[in-house]
């Protein structure tokens, strides 16, 4: 049973909703979300959606890079 199952809240400042995902804190701050996390950042549904929108181009480029080397 992980922290999300136990009911941890979203790590984004001024958000008190329940988290649905945990992501490395460095990736979340690089995406522009303000968090108070040091290692893992827990995101609610709305902030996870925003995180995916911001990082879509980076994820696509990484997928293409690894696909071409195989």
Q: What is the mean pLDDT of the chain?
A: 93
Per-residue pLDDT of 20-47, as tens digits, reads: 999 999 999 999 999 989 999 999 999 9
Tokens matching residue 63:
């997928």
pLDDT of residue 60: 94
Contact yes or no for 10/44 (Cβ under 8 A): yes
**pTM, to two decimals:** 0.85
Q: What is the pLDDT of residue 69?
A: 63
Mean pLDDT to the nearest integer, 1-8? 91
The residue count for the chain: 70
Neighbour tally for 42: CB within 10 Å: 24
């Amino acid at each position: 049973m992980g922290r999300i199952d136990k009911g941890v809240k979203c790590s984004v400042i001024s958000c008190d909703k329940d988290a649905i995902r945990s992501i490395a804190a460095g990736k979340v701050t690089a995406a522009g979300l303000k968090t108070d996390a040091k290692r893992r950042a827990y995101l609610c549904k709305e902030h996870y959606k925003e995180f995916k929108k911001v990082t879509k181009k980076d994820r696509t480029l990484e997928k293409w890079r690894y696909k071409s080397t195989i």
